[in-house]
Structure 1
Amino acid sequence: MTTPTIHTGPTDDTESVFDRACRLIETELGGRRLAPEPRTWLDELARTRRHKTALITAVWNNCFPSGVVEACRVVEAIYPYLGPDGRCTDAALTAAWNILEPDASTWPDQLQDQRRRFTSKCLNRALAEANTAVAAHG
């Protein structure tokens, strides 16, 4: 038999699952909520657009694309492959790599590995910068 660690009164049925999870995290771990739950699909869309815009700027500044259009292409290619926590996955890196270095298959393996690691660092730096920009915006 397990006993609950949170001693609260009866739950409020109007509280969302998101709010209950946040309350649990705040109580158990002493954490704090970073952003409110999106109220409507339009709020979520605005948040996604804000993040993509920040990510395009960060890719432009960190990943050395040939232009803004290529930075946009990189963001559109990697976005579906980002992890649930907004981090770069191998699939996202491959998608970016295919756009940023299209002729890499003709390079020696050692150079490919070196440039792929460099691209991974640049992409992770861009994601961190974009996530920070969006979190600071609210």
Structure 2
Amino acid sequence: MTTSTVHTTPSDDSDSVFERACLLIETELGGRRLPPEPRTWVDDLARTRQHKTAFITAVWNTCFPSGLVEACRVVETVYPYLGRDGLCTDAALTAAWNVLEPDAHTWPEKVQNERRRFTDDCLNRALAEANRAVTDHV
């Protein structure tokens, strides 16, 4: 005996081939889709490493550290102070500022404020670039 699937609603071809195949399997075989696998601590660790690597690269390209070691130091000092949503906080900016401009306390206040705003912009751009890099690879 052969069965066939009759669609009661017209297809608008917006579904992917995969979605249509899943729908066919669900309809024909009475199956159900498997939920995504739960994330493990290893997955989180790998994602954190990817993000830190992307963040180091972005800091190197946008924040003008004196070298790669300083870029790594910036990321390591900033990382614990990032917000829950992965955005830069005041504490993160201060941590980066202390690494990038250790002698800033000797500068005039106006110069300090200008350089701090510049560092804030650079750090936010680097963080956005790192977030995009990790999101693109997920």
The Cα offsets for residues 24-74 of structure 1, whole Å up to 9 and x where unpaired, read as xxxxxxxxxxxx786210000000000000000000000000000000000
Distance 1:39 1:48 in 2: 13
Q: Which residue of 2 aligns with 1:54?
A: 54
Identity over aligned residues, as a percent? Answer: 78
Map 1:69-108 to 2 at 5 A. Answer: 69-108=69-108
Structure 2 segments unaligned to the other structure (5+ residues): 1-35
Structure 1 segments unaligned to the other structure (5+ residues): 1-35
Map 1:114-125 to 2 at 5 A. Answer: 114-125=114-125
- CA RMSD between the two structures: 1.2
Q: For the pair shown, which has the larger CA radius of gyration, 1 or 2?
A: 2
TM-score by length of 2: 0.73
Distance 1:113 1:71 in 2: 22
TM-score by length of 1: 0.73
The Cα offsets for residues 103-130 of structure 1, whole Å up to 9 and x where unpaired, read as 0000000000000000000000000000
Cα distance change of structure 1 residues 38 and 77 upon mapping to structure 2, 3 Å threshold: farther
Aligned length, in residue pairs: 103
Could you tell me which amino acid in structure 2 is paired with residue 60 of structure 1? W
Cα distance change of structure 1 residues 76 and 112 upon mapping to structure 2, 3 Å threshold: same
